Amino acid sequence: MQWTRDDRPRRVTLISTGGTIASRWQGTGYAADASGDDVLATSSLPEGVMVEVVDLFNVNSSRMTTARQLTLLRAVHAALADPGVDGVVVTHGTDTLEESAFFLDLHHSDPRPVVFTGAQRPLGTGDGDGPGNVYDALQVAASVRELGVLVVFDGLVHAARGTVKTQTLAADAFADPCEQSLGKVGFGSVAVRRVPDRSTPLPLPAAAAPEGAGQLPRVDLVMHHSDGDPLLLNTAVAAGAQGVVLVGTGAGNATPEIAEAVADAVTQGTLVALSTRVTSGPVAEIYTGGGAVDLVAAGAVPTGTLRAGQARMAVLATLLADIAPARRPALLHSLLNGPTRSEPALTAAGSRFSGGS
């Protein structure tokens, strides 16, 4: 499907949150300190696109918190409450962009797009990639419909689900290791080759606690390795973690002792998800002896092809949902694995694009 915008003026809200795209030299290194207007001023605007800037916060994305992600979620919903807005662009640091984008996608039911972008090079550098990424993100936000939350970076359009940072410094920073990108943007048009898989959107969570109030769910990551034992998993549970993502080896494997610790954690009401430290491929129940067969039997929920950071956001969204604890594993499974793939479903979804944007 290819979108070429008509001549109608389009309104896009740009929500600025900081990151490299808003970073300037601080004497010893770079840190986010530029406003959204400063970021926007570096980029040309697609013809016919009007932009309203919202400065939400200004932090390096390694300082992202659940409270800030909830603030961002509500800011996006507030922007889309205006029926005259055609789409939203979020400028965000690349370190945790994949987490925030997926979290918003889990709660996004509006046909209008939310497009995340950022930069690998700081503001004002001669070879900066921010201006081009902002231009492309605005182009996509003004054009597409019914694709959920997107990541637009280095000329490519990615679905939020499954897209992770794969390069620490290179301009082509994002990819889904298990799936092709959705499409590309350039020369005034947006070309999309496939419909993204998305789970049924969740309602907005209840009002968030103030930052630092300690009332939001704690969800920890624990990685298995040679000589790995249950200590860190048990410590996370003892520290009050309501959710844990166990990052296994291979297709999602650990040890019999860790499988026992998972069973104990689940008995105590902790939600456990099982991911893998391998770059690509699904978690699969193949091995016993502490492998995924035993970990899933102990109550861990396999994450499919989602990596640890996004799996953590699915656990967090499950804990924030207004459902009984007994229903959480089933909800988590649906968020982690998305809809069941079927050709009729893809055909029905594809039919929504017959009228263009």
Question: Is residue 65 annotated as a catalytic residue, yes or no?
Answer: no
Please give the Cα distance from 204 to 70 (Å, whole number).
9
Say if strands 164-165 and 156-159 run parallel, antiparallel, or are unpaired. unpaired
Told to judge if 20 belongs to the known catalytic residues of this protein, a careful annotator would answer yes
**Residue 287 CB neighbours (<10 A):** 18
331: which 2 tokens? 């909800």
DSSP 65: -
- Indicate which residue of 17, 66, 91, 94 is catalytic: 94
Report the length, in residues, of the chain: 357
Catalytic residue among 13, 17, 20, 96: 20
Q: Residue 306 in 3-state DSSP?
A: coil
Listed residue (71, 21, 65) closest to 41, CA to CA? 21
Q: How far apart are CA 278 and CA 223, in angstroms?
A: 11
Instruction: Show the DSSP H helices in 42-120 as ranges.
Output: 66-80, 97-106
Question: What backbone torsions phi and psi does residue 315 show, to the nearest 5 degrees?
Answer: -65, -45
Distance between CA atoms of residues 248 and 12, nearest Å = 41
| Residues tagged active-site | 20, 94
